[in-house]
Amino acid sequence: MTVNRIISLCALLALTVGFVGCGESDSSSALLKEANGTNIKRLANLYNKYLAEDGWKGPKDEAEFKSFISKIDPSVMKDFNADASKVDGMFTSERDSKAFVIRWEVQGGMGASDPVIFEDTGMDGQRQVAFTGMKLEEVGDARYKDFMAGKGGAKMNLGGETAPKQELSIQGDKKRRTR
């Protein structure tokens, strides 16, 4: 087992607790499956992997993120319950069948929990939002807008640095927002 695979597995297992709770007796395989059971969870975890491997700064756009995912070792992708040859499918919500809205270039860090992956429409007036810290919320319009604006995440203090502009991608269109 390579060092990179061991580090990826340890990080993923440590983060899995956020989705399934403490004290569960499930096997690590079941924990990994639950932590990556839907596209939104899987994509948020892959975004977090990108952050961890790129100095805690998120990808600049969809093309960069997809390129990163496609280069992940297939055995590691299996841990994410994903297939690198089917990257495009991961960017679509199973609930509303629409492309996810993604916040680009989010700065994170150990312990940070920032909203990064958003359902476009959701179901029954509620949209899912996935965070870098293994958190998933269903929210209404007001909270959704706050999260899209970068409000509501648990930030680490990065020495008073201001966050960079956030770029959003909505089904291939790009919009520029500031935090």
The pLDDT tens digits of the residues spanning 5-46 come to 444 544 554 444 444 444 444 577 788 888 999 999 999 999
Q: Compute the average pLDDT of residues 141-150.
A: 95
Answer whether 41's CB lies under 8 Å from 90's CB: no
For residue 10, count other CB atoms closer than 10 A to its CB.
10
Per the structure block, which two tokens stand in for 29? 């395989």
Read off the pLDDT of residues 84-106 as tens digits, 9 standing for 90 and up: 889 999 999 999 999 999 999 99
Q: What is the pLDDT of residue 141?
A: 96
Q: What is the mean pLDDT of residues 140-158?
A: 82
Positive or negative CA dihedral for 171, 44, 127, 175?
A: negative
Average pLDDT over residues 149-159: 66
